Amino acid sequence: MEHDLQRDNTKNLHIKESNHMTVERSFLILEDSVSDELPMNNTETCRVSLDNNSSPTAWLFDTGSSVHICNDQSLFTELQPATRTILVTGGGKVYPSGRGTVKICFINKWGDQVTINLKDTLFIPEFPVNVMSGLRLYKNGGWIDGNDMYDPTGDVFGLLRIGRDGLYVNTEVGKTAVPNQAVSELQPEPCNHHIVSSKQCLDVDLWHRRLGHVNVHQVSQTAKMTRGMFCDSHHNHEPLNYCLACDIAKALRWTPRNKRKRASRAGLIHVDTFKVNPPGIRGERWGMIAADDRHRMRWAYTFTRKGMASELLGQL
């Protein structure tokens, strides 16, 4: 099973083999729009807290990283110098040696091999671990359900395993041919060794998103009860920065001037349909909430097809 991440949104290509049931498709995933022109100042962030026994060949799944990071030059299929890119880490600024495309192999829960091309990946030879950006996965429509990694189409392409210091992607790295001559000619630049956070007070905005958009007090209380979330007891956290998800989820309180009389029981029913993402265990991709105008009683349904909403309304 191979997912090829291309810039253009091409049509899906299906190829099946008799023994391994291999599927090759091409669509937009795990990739931001990359311009051919280098930006004047491209700043990325990555704040990870690692154990001393972390393997440098492992792939850490980090929702706090805005970019993919790889420390193995042989995994790059194409690589260019990243002279105008700055990586902000918990220990300071890091200047990557290059930026390009990495080809790695994931193993999903069924044991299928899924080849992924991570485009716009930073090459930092002295980084202690490889990093897959969870933030990019979410921005492009993917999600995590338990230990399974889903792409925007709803297919499982990877499996997460729990390590001592975070979530790691189940990978099997094979030999990758590197046709680009620029890859072998690129010389690694000196790298800042202080690239992992150590005893630095937690980023409240980051953990606000990771813990389901909770408030500052709940983030601080969680840090006191867990390991891996260092927080100075004397540190007064600043208010959270603007969060788009919280702003959209706010309930709008509006009281009409001319209040109307409530309808009779079941005389008026308000219905709202919505998309379910991720889908339910039986493939439910649509949902419906019906509310009685009189007593505010509610009914909730989930179904596989949007057209089933009218059928369920007749059963109320």
Convert the pLDDT of each residue in 128-184 to its tens digit.
Answer: 889 999 888 888 888 888 889 988 888 888 889 887 767 888 876 433 333 444 444
Under the banding of pLDDT at 50, 70 and 90, the label for residue 30 is: very low
Render pLDDT for 47-80 as a digit per residue (tens, 0 to 9).
555 555 567 888 989 887 888 999 999 999 999 8
Average pLDDT over residues 14-32: 35
**Cα–Cα distance between 170 and 59 in angstroms, integer?**
8
**Cα–Cα distance between 219 and 238 in angstroms, integer?**
12
> Of the given ranges (77-91, 194-208, 274-288), which has the lowest mean pLDDT?
194-208
Average pLDDT over residues 11-31: 35
Residue 245 above 90 pLDDT?
A: no
Integer CA distances (angstroms), 284 to 141, 272, 276, 303, in order: 17, 16, 7, 5
Integer CA distances (angstroms), 261 to 252, 256, 264, 292, 297, in order: 21, 12, 9, 14, 17
The pLDDT of residue 269: 85
Average pLDDT over residues 101-128: 88
> Of the given ranges (73-87, 180-194, 290-304), which has the lowest mean pLDDT?
180-194
In percent, the amount of the chain with pLDDT more than 70 equals: 64
Under the banding of pLDDT at 50, 70 and 90, the label for residue 10 is: very low
The pLDDT of residue 54: 64
The pLDDT of residue 191: 41
The pLDDT of residue 237: 65
Residue 38 above 80 pLDDT?
A: no
In percent, the amount of the chain with pLDDT more than 90 equals: 6
The pLDDT of residue 7: 38
- Specify whether the CB–CB gap between 102 and 70 falls below 8 A: yes
**Cα–Cα distance between 102 and 217 in angstroms, integer?**
40
Q: In whole numbers, what is the pLDDT of the chain averaged over residues?
A: 71
The pLDDT of residue 172: 60
**Cα–Cα distance between 38 and 96 in angstroms, integer?**
14
**Cα–Cα distance between 217 and 127 in angstroms, integer?**
33
Q: Higher confidence at residue 266 or residue 144?
A: 144
Render pLDDT for 186-244 as a digit per residue (tens, 0 to 9).
444 444 433 444 455 677 787 887 787 888 888 888 887 877 676 666 556 667 777 77
The pLDDT of residue 42: 62
**Cα–Cα distance between 257 and 237 in angstroms, integer?**
41
> Of the given ranges (36-45, 93-102, 229-238, 262-271), which has the lowest mean pLDDT?
36-45
The pLDDT of residue 174: 38
The pLDDT of residue 230: 66
- Specify whether the CB–CB gap between 73 and 178 falls below 8 A: no
Q: Integer distance in angstroms from the first to the last C-alpha of the chain?
A: 44
